[in-house]
Structure 1
Amino acid sequence: MTHNTPLSPRPLHELADVRRRVVPTAQLRAQGMSTADIDARCRPGGPWQQLLPGVHLLHPGPPTSEERLHAVLLYAARESTTGVPAQPGPTTTPRHTYTDAVITGLAALTLHGFTATPPLPSLDHIDVLVPRARRLRTTGCARVLRTSPLPTPEAVTGLPVAPVPRALADAVADLPDADAVRRLLTEAVRGGHCDPASVVRELTRARLLGRPHVVDAVDSLIAEGRSIAEDRLYAMVSAYGLPDPVWNVDLRLPGGPHLGGLDAYWPDQAVAIELDTRAPRQDEDALWSEYARKREHLERLGITVVHITPRKLRDAMEQQAAIVRTALMAAADRDPSAYVVVLPR
């Protein structure tokens, strides 16, 4: 192969597959091109360009967002490729298997469909997670973040992308703007991407809860998550034909101590629902112990407590409704409960 051998003579509109346009140096070398040949094509005004070390774009002009994403993955991944022709054509499509590289941060959130994040073309860099032991530097549009362990990626438009909670934590780590952080966390929950607990867990792991503007956003997130969970609880009772409970009540023994607040209560059947909207922070064990003590106390009084998480309401509402219905039907077979005073909360 000589310097004048055209590797990509086809018009750009025919190169429909990004994997034919973004190619690692190793593939070009495997097809017989020398370093001098590649460098010559990547000179100013030439037909190609080098996007990142070891990654080439086989056309002039600015790369598309898709091309940038694939270039970052090619740069960061331990990559294996098959089926790449010396002269890309319509019948042979290269296949890239990206391993040990995961898109994260704002780019990942945009890929997940967030509207509060910038569009991909406006991002100066694309965050990519690699194993902590990798010796790889940030360069060009690729910002390398080392982590251990690497999160299990989700396939979004065929790319390995961090799950929303992890992508949020990586994005928030770089955002000093409290309003921007609040918008992202709110959209994550309101848009149904994830539950507050998983977000707070990732923020805790990333040691971001020491930042006041992040703590403020988390408090708003938890309130948002509880409001959404309550709406789903109302919808569950209505949609599955459950009898109407009394909502948001406190229970007390007559002339005695406060027994705790409940989200829904059926006095005739002595069945209660408690939403678990705890945020997983350092005092999680203490909070869970408080939940458990209240539940045990109520059940000693003959009150059945159904414990429901926002995730279960979101992902398995019909199953939760069946559990509540079973508890209500079983009330007739139980001993009568202790008399309690029901007060609005």
Structure 2
Amino acid sequence: MNHNTPLSPRPLHHLSEVRSRVLTAAQLRARSVSAADANEQCRPGGPWQQLLPGVFLLHPGPPTSQERLHAVLVYAAREQRSGGVPAQPGAADPHRPVYAEAMITGLAALTLHGFTATPSLLALDRIDVLVPRLRRLRSTGCARVVRTAALPPAEQVTGLPVAPVPRALADAVAELTDAGAVRRLLTEAVRGGHCEPAAVVRELNNAKLLSRPHVVDAVDSLLAEGRAIAEDRLYRMVQEHGLPDPVWNVDLRLPGGPHLGGLDAYWPEQAVAVELDTRAPRQDEDALWSEYARKREHLERLGITVVHITPKKLRDAMEQQAAVVRTALMAAGDRDPAAYVVVLPR
């Protein structure tokens, strides 16, 4: 047999035995099932059903959550074929789904990421799927098409491409009007360790959602939650990595002079300060960064070393951040004495 030899037809009952029971019209054609045969199988009372345009479920009962997810993805995915041959490695098996330029987002993605504040997959009437902006697709059935100028890198969850938590949150929040629901989602994202507040706010800002009052209120709660978690990690870093105890949450002033700024931790003898960088990337980011930079430059002109630490670095590389602070403390003896400043509780 050579590659020009036509495939012999397979009996239709064979298709119901394959592991993937969600197939596209193209995959059925690869199994020698014509469009007329597929339509006949989907007649009322028949053994198959059509879940979405060009997407078939090879049994008559309600689809499972995994089958719905697969159906939405194969409906939205761009076919990767050239000359009739799958272009993507591993796509030669017509029963193995290949999802090009499509990923689950919104509430369904958050549920897949393990959120508890989201409905179950079966309880969702629609599943959001993220695709490039120029794709010619329409929302239909259980698939709601969400468009983006640039697809983020997908994360694999249960073998499916899923949008990262910050992007999935933004797409979910865009459809929610309940302030409590929005607050619960954002809080779980941070408290559950799924992502940092700054990443969430960045996506909400990109989606132009920060003009909605109920979203702004939820973001304020989110930032407060994120700062509390970051402060707790900073305390743990000092204790677990054997750093000397600082004075916590203080304001610095020049004697009889102006306020120099607040600090999260300060070692007066070494003139070393730690400031948590919990800026949220909103429209006024440049102004906030300028304020941070001015304060840091002013303190360093006075001989005070300022170590900026982000919540993400505290979470992902606490030992490394402790080493940075320890190095600054050890180097204090090699520097000129710092200017005298007044340390006040904040």
Q: What TM bracket, shorter-length normalisation? A: over 0.9
- 8 A Cα contact 2:74 2:98, kept in partner: no
Q: Which residue pairs with 1:146 in the alignment? A: 147
Aligned to 2:24: 24
Question: What does residue 6 of structure 1 align with?
Answer: 13
Give the match for residue 224 of structure 2. Answer: 223
DSSP-derived class of the 1:78 partner: coil
TM-score by length of 1: 0.93
Give per-residue Cα distances to partners, 1:175-222, cap 9 Å, x unaligned: 000000000000001111111111111101100011000000000001
Indicate the RMSD between aligned Cα atoms, in angstroms: 1.4
Whether the aligned pair in 1 keeps the contact of 2:252 and 2:261 (CA below 8 Å) is yes
Normalising by structure 2, we get a TM-score of 0.92
AA paired with 1:181? V
SS at match of 1:103: strand
Counterparts of 1:145 and 1:248, CA distance in 2: 44
Residue of structure 2 in register with 1:275 after alignment = 276
Map Cα deviations across residues 251-308 of structure 1 (whole Å, 9 max, x no partner).
0111111110000000011000000111111111111011011001101111000000
Aligned to 1:189: 190
Aligned to 1:292: 293
1:246 & 1:324 partners in 2: Cα distance? 14
Q: For residues 10 and 332 of structure 2, what CA distance do their matches in structure 1 show?
A: 85
The amino acid of 1:101's aligned partner reads: A
Q: Distance in 1 between matches of 2:32 and 2:332?
A: 78
* 2:304 aligned residue: 303
Structure 2: how far apart are the matches of 1:214 and 1:309?
Answer: 24
Equivalent residues in 2 for 1:1-345, closer than 5 Å: 5-8=12-15, 10=17, 17=19, 20-80=20-80, 81-84=91-94, 94-345=95-346
Question: Do the aligned residues in 2 keep the contact of 1:188 with 1:194 (CA within 8 Å)?
Answer: yes
User: Within 2, Cα distance between the matches of 1:125 and 1:260?
Assistant: 49
* CA shift for structure 1 position 48: 1.0
TM-fit CA distance, 1:2: 7.9
Over 3 Å counting, the alpha-carbon distance change for 1:37 and 1:338 in structure 2 is same
Q: What residue identity is the alignment partner of 1:261?
A: G
Residue 230 of structure 1 aligns to a residue whose secondary structure is helix
* Distance change in 2, residues 1:157/1:5 (3 Å): closer
- Runs (5+) with no aligned partner, structure 2: 1-7, 81-90
- CA displacement at 1:72 relative to structure 2: 0.3
Distance 2:96 2:53 in 1: 20
Deviates most, 26-35 or 236-245: 26-35
- CA–CA separation in structure 2 for the residues paired with 1:161 and 1:5: 32
* One-letter code aligned to 1:254: P
Does the Cα contact within 8 Å between 1:79 and 1:96 map onto a contact in 2?
A: no
In the alignment of these two chains, the number of paired residues is 329
Shift of 1:29: 1.2
User: What CA deviation, in whole Å up to 9, does each residue of 1:234-254 have, x standing for no partner?
Assistant: 000001010000000000111
Q: Distance in 1 between matches of 2:12 and 2:283?
A: 63
Contact 1:273 / 1:305 at 8 angstroms: preserved in 2?
yes
Cα deviation code 1:33-57 (max 9, x no counterpart): 2212111111121111111111111
- The one-letter amino acid paired with 2:63 is P
Identity rate of aligned residues, in percent?
Answer: 78
* Contact 1:116-1:183 within 8 A present in 2 as well: yes
d(CA) in 2 for partners of 1:8 and 1:200?
46
